Amino acid sequence: MHDRPAGPLRVAVFASGRGSNLQALLDAARSGRLPIEIVLVASDKAHAPALRRAEHAGITTLALDPHSYAQRADFDAELFARVAAAAPDLIVLAGYLRIIDPDALAPWQGRIINIHPSLLPKFPGLHTHQRALAAGEREHGASVHFVSAQLDGGPLIAQTAIVIDAADNAQTLAQRLLPQEHRLLIACVDLIARDRLVLDGEHVVLDGQPLRAPLRLGATGATLD
């Protein structure tokens, strides 16, 4: 990221669903809290509400149907070629529910991050809230990590946690976690946009120093410690 042109970080967002994390990024950028420009929102679902949010904000959208391609690799090759034409500095997976082909991913190493609703390495994949409850966990949370070929397994950047209440079900747990997810993603993107955080090989580096453990969202919900 250090050799990119001066100015706001150019961000492409991938989303498969409602786009609440996308909206959090849009709101933070619009208010001046986040020095980014969202240049493209892409989805594997033409009817994803995330695309409507982007259109409402005047942002270019892209929707490709994976069922129109013979293989997953063909879909990903086309998707990433189209995204590359928008020249983003960073890709943010924000509720994007597809595994990405390693060959398509490789050129973007260190320039693509994901937000996942669990305290990784616990509960990669889907249905994380229900799985956390079923496992009897005392806390649950969200993680932001650099994306690798391993499902939800790339180097961790930061996490946020909430205590699981005895009365929680999967829906209430998800609802309580979501505001923290938004704050976590904004804080991580902010560090990248300000050239403070990079991926060096397999190591996440903050202000020139490798992280010994993932950052944690501060008590105020606004900063990372």
How, if at all, do strands 90-94 and 112-116 pair?
parallel
SS3 labels along the chain:
CCCCCCCCEEEEEECCCCCHHHHHHHHHHHCCCCCEEEEEEEECCCCCHHHHHHHHCCCCEEECCHHHCCCHHHHHHHHHHHHHCCCCCEEEEECCCCCCCHHHHHHHCCCEEEEECCCCCCCCCCCHHHHHHHCCCCEEEEEEEECCCCCCCCCEEEEEEEECCCCCCHHHHHHHHHHHHHHHHHHHHHHHHCCCEEEECCEEEECCEECCCCEEECCCCCCEC
Q: Report the DSSP beta bridge partners of residue 91.
A: 12, 112
**Could you say which of 116, 129, 140, 182 is catalytic?**
116
**Angle (nearest 5°) at CA 158 between 18 and 142:** 40
- Let me know if 116 is a catalytic residue: yes
Q: Which residues are catalytic?
A: 116
